[in-house]
Chains A and B, each alone.
Chain A
Amino acid sequence: MESEFGTAQAGSNLCLDLAARIRAGDRLAEEEFCKTYQRGVLLLATARTRDREAARDLTQDILMAALKALRQGQLHDPEKLGAFVNGTARNLVNNYLRSKARWGESDLESVPEPSTDPVEDLESADWRRRISREVESFGPTDQQILLLTLVDGHTLLEVANRLDLSHDAVRARRSRMIRKITKKFARLSQK
C-alpha cells in the first residue's frame, strides 16, 4: 500500500554527504533531503498538532526552514542533521500551537477543509477502516483504556483508578492491544 508519507532511509554518512552537498548548492541533494525527512517530519507534526492539514503545511515550512539554514551553513556538526531538523520542527510546531491558542477564540477553525489529494484520502480511508474493525474487536474496557490514554492523555494510574483496575492490568492490556495493532499494520505502512 502506498503511504501518504514519503520514504525515509538515512544514515550518518548520508547526513554528512547531504549537508555538505546542500551547502554547496546541489539541487538534487535538497530534493533528497526533502524525501528523506518529509515523512518523519509530517508524523511528528501530526502527533503534536493532531491536525493532519496543519501538519502538512507545517511540514513544508519545516523543510523549507531547514533547507534555508543548511544553505547558509548554519549546521556546525553535519552528523547531527537529524537533531537539527528535529529542533527546527519543534520550534515551528510550538509556534503553530501558540498561534493556534490565540486563534482558538474564533469559530472558523472548526470548519473542515477538503483534502488536497483524493488518492491519498482513499488510501487513508481504507487504512482507517481496517484499524476501525480492529478496534471494534476489543472489549469496551479495552477501548476505554485506549481512548483515555491515547486521546484524552490520562496517565495509566488515572485510568486504573477510573476503571477500577490495577495499574499493571491497565498497562498490560494497553500493551497487548498496541502490540496487536502495530504488528498487524505497521508492516503494511513500512516501505
Chain B
Amino acid sequence: MLCWDVEQNELAVQYLAGELDPELGKDFEVHLLECSRCQATLQTLLLLREDLEARAHKIRSYTLPSRGFLQRGWITIAAVAVALSVAGFLEIRKMHHMHLAQTARTQSPVSINPDAQLIETPLTRCKTDCHLDMLPISPAPKNLSAGSSKRTNKPDSGNEAVAEEHSDNHHGSADSSPPNVTRSLDSTAAVPAENPPVLVGNQKPLKNSPQSNLLSDEGEKELFRLATINAPPYTFAGFARYAKDTPSGTASTGAQAGGLTTPNGKRPVFQDAMLSYVDGDYKRAGDLLERALTQEPPAPDAYFYLGICRLVEGDAAGSISPFKSALDFPKSPLLQSAHYFLAKAFLETRDFASAEAELEAAASQMGEWTRSAKDDLTMLQAIRQREGQ
C-alpha cells in the first residue's frame, strides 16, 4: 500500500469511520505503522473526531428541515407547476382557436357573403345566440309554417326560422342550441371549399399555397405558437444615428441623401412614425415609415420597423420586403432582429425553408434573439420533420 492510495481513497477517513473491510483495514494499519505521513493524517483526524465529540450536543441541536417538510414542499411545487402547465395549455388552446377563427374570417368568402354572416365564425354564432335570446317567443310566421324542409338561407327568412326553432326549444327540449341553426351552419360551412378564397383588407397572396403546406392540428398549433410575435419595443434614442448607415457601409450625412434636407440631421417623419409605433398605432406608424423612407434617408431601423408594423397588422407577405431591405445594412445593430422577424414573416406565409434559413442566420449571431432563434429553429425543424414538409 502506498500513501497515494491512502490519500486518493481516503482510507484514513474510512478507517476511522469503520467503513474499511477487515483485510484492507489490516493493510492500512501495517502501512500506518511505518509511514509518518499517514500517521500525521490519522492524528489530525483523531483530533477532529475528539473535537466533534466535544461539540456533539451543539451540532445535534442544529435544526435541519425535516424530510416531511421537504416532501410537502416538493408536492406543493409540483402542484403549482401542474396548475401553471394546465393554465398555459388552456391559454394556448384559446389563442389557437382565436387564430383559427381569424384565419377563417380573413380567408373565407362567407365573411363577405351576406347570406352566411350569421353562421361562419364563433363570433357570429355568439351574435346569433344573443339575437335569439332577445327574440320574442311568438308563433311562426305563416309563410314558414310549411316546415323546416321549405326553409331557405335567405337573410330575412333565416332568422325567422331560427326564431321558430328557438321557440320550439323553449317549449320542449332543454338543449339551448337550436338544431336547425346547426344544420344551416353545416350547410353553409361547405361553401368556402367550393368557392375560391377572397382576399380582404390588405391581405396579399401567400407566397406558398396553403394547400401545399397543410399541417396536422398539432402542427398548426405549434406553427401558430412559432409565428406569434410581439412588437419589439422602441426607445427614443439616436434618431439620426442609423440614417448615417448606408447599405454599402460607407458613411453619409443622411441629412442630404435623396436631395432632401432634414433639420439638424434628424428624421421628423421617422420620429413621428415611432411615436405612433410606441402608442400601438401600427397602421399609422407603417404609413409614416413608408413616407419616411421616401422623404428621408433610407435607414435600417425604418425598414425594420416598417416590417414589424406590417407583420403586426397581418400583412406578413408585405413585411418581407422591408425586412430584406433592413438586411442590406451589414453593420446595423438590427441585423439579427431583422433575420428573426423575417423568419416570422416567412412562417406566416408558410415558406418554411426560408423561415428556417432566417432563423439559422439569427441563431448564428450573438444578441437578444439568439436564444429565441435557436428555440424556434429547433421547433420548426421538428415540425417540418414530423409533418414531412
Please name 26 pairs of A and B residues whose Cβ atoms are closer than 8 Å in the assembled complex, sorted by A. A8-B33, A8-B34, A10-B33, A39-B36, A40-B39, A41-B33, A43-B43, A82-B30, A82-B34, A89-B29, A90-B29, A127-B47, A135-B48, A135-B51, A140-B59, A141-B64, A143-B62, A144-B60, A146-B48, A150-B52, A151-B53, A164-B70, A174-B13, A186-B40, A188-B40, A190-B39
Q: Are B39 and A43 in contact (CB under 8 A)?
A: yes
Minimum C-beta distance from B24 to chain A (A): 13
Interface pair A128/B33, CB less than 8 Å apart: no
Q: Which of A8, A90, A150, A186 contacts B16 (CB 8 A)?
A: A150
Most chain-B Cβ atoms within 10 A of its Cβ — which of A90, A143, A153, A182? A182
What A residues does B45 contact at CB under 8 A? 150, 178, 181-182
In the bound assembly, the distance between CA atoms of A36 and B33 in angstroms comes to 8
CA distance A182 to B52 in the complex (A): 15
Interface centre among A5, A147, A150 (most CB of B within 10 A): A150
Q: Is A103 an interface residue (CB 8 A)?
A: no
* B31-46 interface code vs A (CB 8 A; 1 in, 0 out): 1111111011111111
Residue B55, interface by CB 8 Å? yes
- Asked whether A175 is an interface residue with its Cβ less than 8 Å from the other chain, the reply is yes
Chain A: CB-nearest residue to B29: A86
A153-B17 CB under 8 A given contacts A10-B34, A86-B30: yes
Residues of chain B within 8 A (CB-CB) of A86 are 26, 29-30, 33
C-alpha spacing A46/B50, complex, angstroms: 11
Q: Interface of B with A (CB < 8 Å)?
A: 10, 12-13, 15-19, 26, 29-37, 39-56, 59-60, 62, 64-65, 67, 70
- Answer whether A11 and B62 are a contact pair too, CB < 8 Å, given A151-B56, A175-B10: no
- Give A69 to B39 CA distance when docked, in angstroms: 25
Cα–Cα distance between A178 and B52 once the two chains are bound (Å)? 13
4 residue pairs, one from A and one from B, having the closest CB atoms: A40-B33, A140-B62, A190-B40, A10-B34
B10, B46, B62: the one contacting A178 at CB < 8 Å is B10
Give complex CA distance A64, B274 in Å: 98
In the complex, the chain A residue whose C-beta lies closest to that of B49 is A150
Given the contacts A8-B35, A131-B47, A135-B51, A178 and B30 also touching, CB distance less than 8 Å: no
B64 touches A163 (CB 8 A): yes
- A contact residues, total (Cβ < 8 Å): 55
Interface flags for A95-116 (1: CB within 8 Å of B; 0: not) read 0000000000000000000000
Write out the residue numbers on chain A whose beta carbons fall within 8 Å of the beta carbon of B54.
132
Known A-B contacts A40-B32, A144-B62, A150-B16; A189 and B51 likewise in contact (beta carbons under 8 Å): no
Contact A189/B64 with A86-B26, A135-B55 known, Cβ cut-off 8 Å? no
Please give me the residue from chain B that is nearest to A37 by CB atom: B33
Whether the pair A186, B41 counts as a contact (CB closer than 8 A) is: yes
Residue among B31, B39, B53, B55 with the highest chain A CB neighbour number at 10 A? B39
Closest A residue to B70 by beta carbon equals A164
* A60 at the B interface (CB under 8 A): no
Once the chains bind, are A164 and B67 in contact (CB under 8 Å)? yes
Residues on the B chain within 8 Å of A149, using CB: 13, 17
Given contacts A5-B39, A143-B59, A187-B40, contact A153 B18 (CB under 8 A): yes
**B336 CB, nearest partner CB in chain A, Å:** 41
What is the CB-to-nearest-CB distance from A102 to chain B, in angstroms, rounded to a whole number? 22
User: A44 near B29 (CB under 8 angstroms)?
Assistant: yes
Min distance, Cβ A139 to any Cβ of chain B, angstroms: 9
CA distance A41 to B44 in the complex (A): 15
Closest CB-CB distance, A100 to chain B, in whole Å? 17
Looking across the interface, which residue of chain A has its beta carbon closest to that of B42?
A43
Instruction: Please name all residues of chain A whose beta carbon is closer than 8 Å to the beta carbon of B55 when the two chains form the complex.
Output: 132, 135, 143
Which residues of A146-178 have CB atoms within 8 Å of chain B's CB atoms?
146-147, 149-151, 153, 155-156, 163-164, 174-175, 178
Q: Known A43-B46, A140-B59; judge A189-B18 contact (CB<8 A).
A: no
Specify which chain B residues have a CB less than 8 angstroms from the CB of A181 in the assembled complex.
Answer: 44-45, 48
Q: Are A185 and B44 in contact (CB under 8 A)?
A: yes
B264 vs chain A, min Cβ distance (A): 62
Question: Is A68 engaged at the interface, CB distance under 8 Å to the other chain?
Answer: no
Q: Which B residues lie within 8 Å of A44 (CB)?
A: 29, 32-33
- Known A-B contacts A143-B62, A147-B60; A190 and B10 likewise in contact (beta carbons under 8 Å): no
State whether A182 touches B34 (Cβ < 8 A).
Answer: no
